[in-house]
């Protein structure tokens, strides 16, 4: 009888082993991001997942994100499982990107309740009753200036059209939207006119924005992209447009004193999010790993690491208690940065409006004779 019990026990153990995936089974997860996440995050995530019973091999998809098409193409071909779209990518072109994403189940995110309340109920990612992304971090597109070359900080986007500043800055060219919005703000117009297409409905306004845009391109020294200004370029400049990612580093490398200027016309925000490819719906192991990755990236510890050295970038975890170093504090404006407001995010655009804006950019490049210089840019305006 004893030997029969042993055989039954052995059979049950074998059946259990065959039915459940072995911890040694590796889940391969592909992640497409912008390239600014801190060095070593992949290994830290793999350890985080392993402590929760999932053996993940995380691969960063390259090239990194530059525009809407880079994310859309990676999802459509299932090259990426988890992506990091900017807020205005989600509903652009009548929401084709959302159609490639899974609705987010907040109950699968242990750290969701740590998000600031404003990021728990968002509209930029909502279709019907479903949400398709989780907020990660946001940045202010802003003016910056070298304090050693200005007695007073610039206070307006119109400084970029001032002939006295010719050759003293470069134009951002990963996406055209911030450039066009800031050109419109320089005229004192409401940012709402960009989203509703009023710029192209009002011929006189369109001409004014077109002229402002052309003059900025003529005044600029060239272009910058890949999310950061090059420190070598900043040595030759007194003004910059920036997301603030490089200022602390470049101040140290160049022995300069770059500082953010708050434009009186108001802020321009972009928010990066985390989303899951729809093709994971029938891959439960990958889906679990995807939720773990998002949970990891919005955790207090990882958010703190992302924000080191970039005081103008803000996290979404409410438990963050940021204490700036002297070098970080030095690049911040004298008055507090504006509070986040979802209404001030770069908005999504319909295909018709976006194509008209692209035409404005092309016309400005031609009129300023900078189209050859702009070939180094990542933006898709053709």
| Residue 166: Cβ-neighbour burial (10 angstroms; 0-12, 13-18, 19+) | exposed
Structure tokens that stand for 204 in this block: 């006189």
Q: Is the Cα torsion angle 352, 143, 33, 111 positive or negative in sign?
A: negative
Positive or negative: CA dihedral 253, 258, 260, 264:
negative
Residue 188 gets the label, from left (phi > 0), alpha (psi -120 to 50) or beta, of: left
pLDDT of residue 149: 95
pLDDT of the residue at 37? 95
pLDDT value for 24? 56
Question: For residue 110, which of 34, 49, 56, 57 has the smallest C-alpha distance?
Answer: 49
As a residue count, the chain comes to 382
CB 337 within 8 A of CB 161: no
Query: Which segments of 109-159 are extended strands (E)?
Result: 126-127, 130-131, 134-146
DSSP state of 317: B
Helix axes of 203-219 and 351-367: crossing angle, nearest 10 degrees: 50
pLDDT tens across the length of the chain (382 residues): 444 444 444 444 444 444 444 455 899 999 999 999 999 999 999 999 999 999 999 999 999 998 899 999 999 999 999 999 999 999 998 899 999 999 999 999 999 999 999 999 999 999 999 999 999 999 999 999 999 999 899 999 999 999 999 999 999 999 999 999 999 999 999 988 999 999 999 999 999 999 999 999 999 999 999 889 999 999 999 999 999 999 999 999 999 999 999 899 988 999 999 999 999 999 999 999 999 999 999 999 999 999 999 999 999 999 999 999 999 999 999 888 888 888 889 999 988 999 999 999 999 999 999 999 888 898 888 7
153 near 261, Cβ under 8 Å? Answer: yes
Burial 80-105 (b: 16+ CB within 10 A, else e): bbbbbbbbbbbbbbeeebbebbbbbe
| Three-state DSSP class for residue 56 | strand
| pLDDT for 376 | 87
Place of tokens 């999010």: 273
pLDDT of residue 23: 52
């Amino acid at each position: 009888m004893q030997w029969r019990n042993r055989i039954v026990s052995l059979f049950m153990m074998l059946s259990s082993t065959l039915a459940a995936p072995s911890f040694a089974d590796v889940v391969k997860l592909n992640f497409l991001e912008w390239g600014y996440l801190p060095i070593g995050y992949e290994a830290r995530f793999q350890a985080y997942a392993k402590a929760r019973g999932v053996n993940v091999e995380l691969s960063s998809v390259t090239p990194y994100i530059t525009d809407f098409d880079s994310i859309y193409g990676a999802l459509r071909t299932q090259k990426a499982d988890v992506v990091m779209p900017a807020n205005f990518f989600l509903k652009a072109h009548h929401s084709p990107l959302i159609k490639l994403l899974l609705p987010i189940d907040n109950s699968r995110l242990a750290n969701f309740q740590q998000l600031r309340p404003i990021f728990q109920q968002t509209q930029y990612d909502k279709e019907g009753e479903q949400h398709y992304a989780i907020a990660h971090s946001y940045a202010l597109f802003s003016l910056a200036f070298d304090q050693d070359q200005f007695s007073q900080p610039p206070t307006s986007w119109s400084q970029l059209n001032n002939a006295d500043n010719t050759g003293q800055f470069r134009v951002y060219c990963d996406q055209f939207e911030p450039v066009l919005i800031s050109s419109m703000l320089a005229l004192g117009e409401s940012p709402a006119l960009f989203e509703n297409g009023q710029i192209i409905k009002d011929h006189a306004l369109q001409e004014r924005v077109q002229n402002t845009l052309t003059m900025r391109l003529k005044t600029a020294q060239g272009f910058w992209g890949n999310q950061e200004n090059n420190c070598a370029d900043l040595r030759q400049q007194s003004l910059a447009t920036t997301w603030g990612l490089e200022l602390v580093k470049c101040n140290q490398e160049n022995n300069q004193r770059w500082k953010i200027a708050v434009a009186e016309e108001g802020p321009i925000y972009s928010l990066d999010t985390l989303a899951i490819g729809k093709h994971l719906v029938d891959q439960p192991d990958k889906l679990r790993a995807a939720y773990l990755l998002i949970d990891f990236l919005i955790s207090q510890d990882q958010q703190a690491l992302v924000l080191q050295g970039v005081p103008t970038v803000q996290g979404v975890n409410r438990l963050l208690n940021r204490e700036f170093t002297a070098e970080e504090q030095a690049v911040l404006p004298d008055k507090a940065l504006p509070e986040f407001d979802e209404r001030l995010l770069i908005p999504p655009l319909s295909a018709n409006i976006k194509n008209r804006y692209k035409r404005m950019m092309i016309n400005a490049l031609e009129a300023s004779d900078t189209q050859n210089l702009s070939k180094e840019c990542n933006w898709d305006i053709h």
